[in-house]
Chain A
Amino acid sequence: MARYIGKRLIYMFITLALIATFTFFLMKILPGSPIASADKLSPEQRAVVEARYGLDQPLPVQYFDYMFGLLQGDLGISINQFKGADVTDVILSRMGPSAQIGFQGMLLGTVLGILFGMVAALRQNTWVDYGSTIVAIIGISIPSFVFASMLQYWLGLKWDLFPVALWKDGFMSSVLPSIALAMFPLATAARFIRTEMIEVLGSDYITLAKAKGASGSEIAFKHAFRNALIPLITVLGPMAVSILTGSLVVEQIFAIPGIGEQFVKSIMVSDFSIIMGTTIFFSVFLIVVILIVDILYGVIDPRIRLSGGKS
Chain B
Amino acid sequence: MTQNYEKLPQDAFTRIPRDTQEAEKISKPSVSFWQDAWRSLKKNKGAIISLILFGLILIMSFVGPMISPYEPNDQTITHANLPPKVPVIENFGIMDGVGTLGGREVDMYELKNVDQNYWFGTDGLGRDMFSRVWKGTQVSLFIAFVAAAIDMLIGVIYGGISGYFGGRVDDVMQRIVEILTGIPNLVVVILFILIMDPGILAIIIALTITGWTGMSRVVRGQVLKYKSQEFVLAARTLGASDTRIIWKHLMPNVLGVIIINTMFTIPGAIFFEAFLSFIGLGLQAPDASLGTLINDGYKLIQYQPHILLFPAVVLSLIMIAFNLIGDGLRDALDPKMKD
Using C-beta atoms within 8 Å of the partner chain, give the interface range for chain A: 35 or more
A241 at the interface (CB under 8 A from B): yes
Check B323–A153 contact: CB distance below 8 A.
no
Interface of B, secondary structure class, is helix
Partner of A141, one of B182, B187, B221, B316: B316
- CB of B255 closer than 8 Å to a CB of A: no
* Cβ-closest chain A residue relative to B319: A141
- Shortest C-beta distance, A269 to chain B (Å), equals 11
Flag the segment in A7-15, A105-113, A215-223 that touches B: A7-15
Considering the chains assembled together, what is the distance between the CA atoms of A98 and B215 in angstroms? 32
Contacts of B316 in A (CB 8 A): 138, 141-143, 146
**A19, A143, A152: the one within 8 Å of B274 (CB):** A143
Chain B residues with CB below 8 A from A149, complex form: 294, 298, 301, 308, 312
Docked CA distance A282–B308 (Å)? 30
Taking a contact as CB atoms under 8 Å apart, the answer to whether B182 and A282 are in contact is no
In the complex, the answer to whether A137 meets B275 with C-beta atoms within 8 Å is no
Cβ-defined contact, B280 with A245, below 8 A: no
**Shortest CB distance A133–B (Å):** 9
Shortest CB distance A232–B (Å): 19
- Give chain B's interface residue range (CB within 8 Å of chain A): 35 or more
Residue of A nearest to B298 (CB): A149
Name the residue of chain A whose CB is nearest to the CB of B224: A311
Partner of A267, one of B187, B280, B298: B280
Whether B271 contacts A143 by the Cβ 8 Å rule is yes
Contact A279 B267 (CB under 8 A): no
Per a CB cutoff under 8 Å, which of B191, B221, B294 touches A311?
B221
| A-chain residues with CB within 8 Å of residue B301 when the two chains form the complex | 149, 152-153, 157
B278 within 8 A of A: yes
In the complex, the chain B residue whose C-beta lies closest to that of A311 is: B221
Question: Smallest CB–CB gap between B13 and chain A, Å?
Answer: 48
A142 to B315, CA, bound (A): 8
Q: Is A22 an interface residue (CB 8 A)?
A: yes
Q: Is A14 a contact of B179 with CB atoms below 8 Å? A: yes
Residues of B within 8 A of A248 (CB): 186, 275, 279
**Contact call B279/A252, Cβ cutoff below 8 A:** yes
Asked if B186 and A282 make an inter-chain contact with CB atoms under 8 angstroms apart, the answer reads yes
Complex Cα distance A15/B316, Å?
34
* A141–B278 touching, CB < 8 Å: no
A279 to B184, CA, bound (A): 9
Q: Does B302 make an interface contact (CB < 8 A)? A: yes
When A15-B179, A143-B271 are in contact, do A29 and B195 touch as well, CB less than 8 Å? yes
23 sampled A-B residue pairs with Cβ under 8 A: A14-B179, A18-B183, A140-B323, A141-B319, A141-B320, A142-B319, A143-B316, A145-B275, A145-B294, A146-B294, A150-B312, A153-B302, A153-B305, A157-B301, A245-B186, A248-B275, A248-B279, A264-B280, A267-B190, A268-B280, A282-B186, A282-B187, A310-B174
Instruction: Kindly list the 7 A-B residue pairs having the minimum CB-CB distance in the complex, ordered from nearest.
Output: A15-B182, A141-B319, A141-B320, A286-B184, A146-B312, A142-B316, A264-B279
Known: A30-B195, A141-B267, A282-B187. 18 other contacts (CB 8 A): A12-B182, A15-B179, A15-B182, A18-B183, A26-B194, A30-B194, A141-B319, A141-B320, A142-B319, A143-B274, A143-B319, A149-B308, A245-B186, A249-B275, A253-B298, A267-B279, A267-B280, A268-B280
Chain B positions within 8 Å of A, measured between CB atoms, are 174, 178-179, 182-187, 190-191, 194-195, 221, 267, 271, 274-275, 278-281, 294, 298, 301-302, 305, 308, 312, 315-316, 319-320, 322-324
Which A residues form the contact surface with B (CB < 8 A)? 11-12, 14-15, 18-19, 22-23, 26, 29-30, 137-138, 140-143, 145-146, 149-150, 152-153, 157, 241, 244-245, 248-249, 252-253, 264, 267-268, 275, 279, 282-283, 286-287, 310-311
